[in-house]
Amino acid sequence: MPERWTSVRVRPDGAPGAREACLAALFAVGAQGVHEDGPTLVTHFPPNTDLELVHRALTEADEQVVIETAPVPDIDWSEEWKQRITSHALGPLTVTPPWLADQFDPATRIVIEPGMAFGTGEHATTRGVVRLLPRQLRRGATVADLGAGSAVLSIAAAKLGAARVYAVELDADAIPDAEANVERNGVADRVHVFEADAGALLPLVAPVDLVLANIISSVLIELMPIIDASLVAGGTAILSGILYEERDTMLQVLAAHGWTVLEEDAEDIWWSVSIAKA
């Protein structure tokens, strides 16, 4: 077992589901976070990690996976990781970590403390939703944010004029981060954080004007009937977490269930879309 931190770079073979399976395997063996470098998944394991266990879990998830490991140089990570996280200007809003927040207008900034919860603005799927949001959100709307993570999308909706936002997250570990971010951004009067299954809670808070869902495509497909039933007449949804290579399949699913595409957004390997019922 190594006595230093180890960098692990994982390249799935590209088969359907291989990327998600490798990602799940990394978290199952103790990864605390995974960075996407194009098609490659990158993470770091602490000293004394059983790398044979990591290798076995990944090859069980994807027999053709390519795995590269290397010792991590001694670095002051308390400062190094801050240098890797920057602000992101997304239409009228800017997502920023706290140490860069002072240079932005409080009315249009979203301050997110990087933590365990997904959604710091560093991921293309988050940015895609925020870019699409201004054209789909009307002032005074009621919004449901499914798989809210850090609540960054819920905060964005509130900053853009939503009157009520339900931030729904199943992961109990993400809830404290989400609640702290909501307070930090001064939108606790409009954003309500729930630890719950999205499919179970959404019908209870319906009807809503807009649904935001940054979740993997297989879960999105399962949720589409519930999203449909929970929207007001003329309501819309913004979907993300979809690989661009899945675009054609998702378009077919949406068309088969009577949805119309309003606008698309693509960045790197990811695709986001705003939709309404035909």
CB 188 within 8 A of CB 155: no
Query: What's the rounded Cα separation, in Å, for the pair 127 and 259?
Result: 23
Question: In this structure, which amino acid lies at residue 124?
Answer: A
Res. 33 pLDDT band, cuts 50 70 90: confident
Query: What's the rounded Cα separation, in Å, for the pair 5 and 49?
Result: 8
Ordered alpha helix ranges (H), 95-197: 124-136, 152-159, 175-184
- In the CATH scheme, what architecture does the domain 6-71 have? 2-Layer Sandwich (3.30)
Question: In this structure, which amino acid lies at residue 190?
Answer: R
Query: What's the rounded Cα separation, in Å, for the pair 120 and 1?
Result: 32
Give the contacts of 248 (CB within 8 A, at least 6 positions apart): none
H or E element, residue 66: strand 66-71
CB 165 within 8 A of CB 193: no
Query: What's the rounded Cα separation, in Å, for the pair 154 and 185?
Result: 11
pLDDT at 278 over 80: no
Which pLDDT score, from 0 to 100, does residue 77 have?
A: 47
CATH number of 83-277: 3.40.50.150
Give mean pLDDT, residues 92-99.
92
Domain with CATH 3.30.70.100 in the chain: 6-71
Give mean pLDDT, residues 14-38.
90
pLDDT at 239 over 50: yes
**Model pLDDT for residues 246-271, shown as the tens digit of each residue:** 999 999 999 999 999 999 999 989 99
Give mean pLDDT, residues 38-54.
92
What percentage of residues in the chain have a pLDDT greater than 90?
78
pLDDT at 82 over 70: no
**Model pLDDT for residues 137-168, shown as the tens digit of each residue:** 999 999 999 999 999 999 999 999 999 999 99
pTM of the full structure:
0.73
Domain with CATH 3.40.50.150 in the chain: 83-277
Sole residue written with tokens 């199952």: 28
Q: Which of 246, 245, 258, 238 shows the shortest CA–CA distance to 217?
A: 246
Q: What is the DSSP string of 5-64?
A: -EEEEEE----TTHHHHHHHHHHHTT-S--EEETTEEEEEE-TT--HHHHHHHHHHH-TT
Give mean pLDDT, residues 55-84.
80
